[in-house]
Amino acid sequence: MPKVLRMNIHSYTIIHYGADYIGAAIRSIYYNVDKIHIIYTPHPSHGTSTNLSPIETKEEIFNEIDNIHDPNNKIIWHEMLNAYEEGQQRDAAVKLCQDNGADIILVVDCDEIWHRFTLNRILAFISEQNNARNWLVNFTHLWRSFDYCCVDENWPVRFIDLRNDNNNWTSYINKDFGNIYHFGYAVTNTMMRYKWEIHGHKSELRPNWFDEKWNMWPPADDCHPTNSENWWMPEQFDKRELPLFMRDHRFYGMERIE
């Protein structure tokens, strides 16, 4: 296994809902980081409000966190009550990690799963490069089950190297390091409806997307909720590729998650 230079590596996860996958997300990174900051917010943060109550309570999410095996006392629960915008929340999360001594920050959304060895190789690479603050990654997006996926050319920031906090350089993690998995579209119908009630791109949702794309089975082509022109084209996925512990997930054996 490649050796990561001795540094403090912290992760942060901002969570408003996501109990279905938060345990798996944390389990997937647990042995690669020194501290895991879970930041709960009761507010939607993507610029769209709703009169609906949160789909999950704080207690339900906290219980999922509390059930995660934490032999090294890495997991720290925080609450962010007065931030309503995603950028504001993420800036506060970075400062929280920095104030607690982080050298490198791993951004982990609650529905993102890593292979331990992939993450270790990337951290070793970043620690040796030491030449950019923001590092971007590419995801494999599971679609409606663990048996289909979509790929695209979106590259969100998932590593922040605070050794380079005074420069704005951005670099990319080559896909050859290994797949990273996003389960935001491998959720129940109820969860997907709520997701789009509070989504920052709600006004861009394609007409009849739920009926013509989300509800179709076998999966419909060109299924991305906002981007057309075949941005997402579902293809069969061998779920045995996932980390072994995902075989225990309650959705693993479902043909389609309902």
The two structure tokens encoding residue 92: 């506060």
Report pLDDT for 167: 84
The two structure tokens encoding residue 192: 């997907």
Q: pTM here?
A: 0.95
Residue 247 pLDDT > 70: yes
Residue range 153-168: mean pLDDT, rounded:
95
Residue 128 pLDDT > 70: yes
Residue 12 burial by Cβ neighbours in a 10 Å radius (0-12, 13-18, 19+): buried
Band of pLDDT at residue 49, cut at 50, 70 and 90 = low
Domains detected in the chain:
9-248 (3.90.550)
The two structure tokens encoding residue 60: 């339900």
Q: Are 222 and 122 in contact (CB under 8 A)?
A: no
Band of pLDDT at residue 126, cut at 50, 70 and 90 = very high
Residue range 197-213: mean pLDDT, rounded:
94
Report pLDDT for 168: 85
